[in-house]
Amino acid sequence: MRRAKRFGLVFLALLVPVAAYIGYWRIAAARIEDGLDGWRQSAAKKQIDASWRQLRVRGFPFAFRIEIGNASLRDRAWNPAPQLRLDRLIATARPWNFDDWRLAAPAGFSAHLAASGARPELKLAAKSAEGTAAIGAQSAPWLWVRGADVTAEALGRVPIKSAEAWITLPAKPAETHTDPSFGLALDMRQVEVAAPPVNFGKTIDELAFGVTVRGVLPAGPLAQAAAAWRDAGGTVEVDNLHLDWGGLGITASGTFALDEKLQPLAALSGGIEGFDAIVDALVAADWLIPEQGSILRIALSSLAKPGPDGKPQITAPFTIQKGKMYLGPARLGPAPRIVWD
């Protein structure tokens, strides 16, 4: 009898915390669903349209797994409004840590920005994606996403084997032109180029950069918003830039801004390896005549010093002014134009 009574007490001692945990999990799951619905309603007041057809919370007992189907996110504060679509999004967190979430989009995602005036339609898509999000109240939120078989489209289609992106937000919104608005880092590998410069391969091995956008980003049409940001002193700090394209290697850091025509101004410094490839491409593209190419090659060789890996490297400023690109005093050609609308 005593043994049975003791067994009953042990069973009861185990049953109480288990029942309490089951109750906690169900309440937390319901609050997650209610919280997402509440966020959707509050986001609408900020001109952000969020929608989904299915929303379920699973994962009992060791996780909270949010499964969202046919999700769409559209920011009407910009004109035209950028839009993001996902067929399926899975976000998973442990019951003891709601600050860190693992993300998965097994069917990938697509992003879209409608054409406007002379600017073409912009598209971005990935066949699959995964990531991590940190949304803790005690630290600045950040997001990491890795996409496989990515495709970017503007005037042409650019396949990318893989890409990783990091987005960081400050603890509080920017108030002055020196405050960070957000940080963005992107690392792309095996980027196919439809019409590469002569003497360059059709695949960029790696293109990576990290930037910090400073200044308040106003809402409205893109051109007007960019002009207001520029007038308020907004800048883009390039924390690091890395390009590996065949024998050409470039590293740089510096600052970007916009001129009175909303075209890029840049002042960067860094190192260049394989600069002969640049000169050959400029000559082959008729940007330089062969004699100019020979003079430029001699001038650049005289500036080269052994880099970290022992290869000749040029350390020189790269600038963009009045629509032209310069490497030191040497003019490289016209700078790419930004079409806002």
Question: How confident is residue 138, by pLDDT bands cut at 50, 70 and 90?
Answer: low
C-beta separation of 47 from 58 below 8 A: no
HEC per residue, the chain: CHHHHHHHHHHHHHHHHHHHHHHHHHHHHHHHHHHHHHHHHHHHCCCEEEECCEEEEECCCCCEEEEEEEEEEEECCEECCCEEEEEEEEEEEECCEEEEEEEEECCCEEEEECCECCECCEEEEEEEEEEEEECCCCCCCEEEEEEEEEEEECCCEEEEEEEEEEEECCCCCCCCCCCEEEEEEEEEEEEECCCCCCCCCCEEEEEEEEEEEECCCCCEEHHHHHHHHHHCCCEEEEEEEEEEECCEEEEEEEEEEECCCCCEEEEEEEEEECHHHHHHHHHHCCCCCHHHHHHHHHHHHHHCEECCCCCEEEEEEEEEECCEEEECCEEEEECCCCCCC
Mean pLDDT, to the nearest integer, of 129-151? 90
pLDDT tens digits for 299-312?
A: 777 777 877 777 77
pLDDT at res. 149 = 96
Q: What is the mean pLDDT of residues 162-177?
A: 93
Average pLDDT over residues 282-289: 78
Choice among 85-99, 252-266, 276-290, 315-329 with the minimum mean pLDDT: 276-290
Give residue-wise pLDDT tens across range 117-133.
888 899 999 999 999 99
Give the Cα separation of 318 and 300 in Å (integer): 13
With a pLDDT cut of 70, the percent of the chain lying above it is: 93
User: Do 113 and 80 contact (CB within 8 A), yes or no?
Assistant: yes
Residue whose tokens read 């998973």:
92
Predicted local distance difference test score (pLDDT) of residue 212: 97
| pLDDT value, residue 237 | 97
- Half-sphere exposure of 140 toward its Cβ, with a 13 Å CA cutoff? 12
Residue 174 has pLDDT above 80, yes or no: yes
Strand partners for 165: 145, 186
- Which amino acid is located at 291 in the chain? E
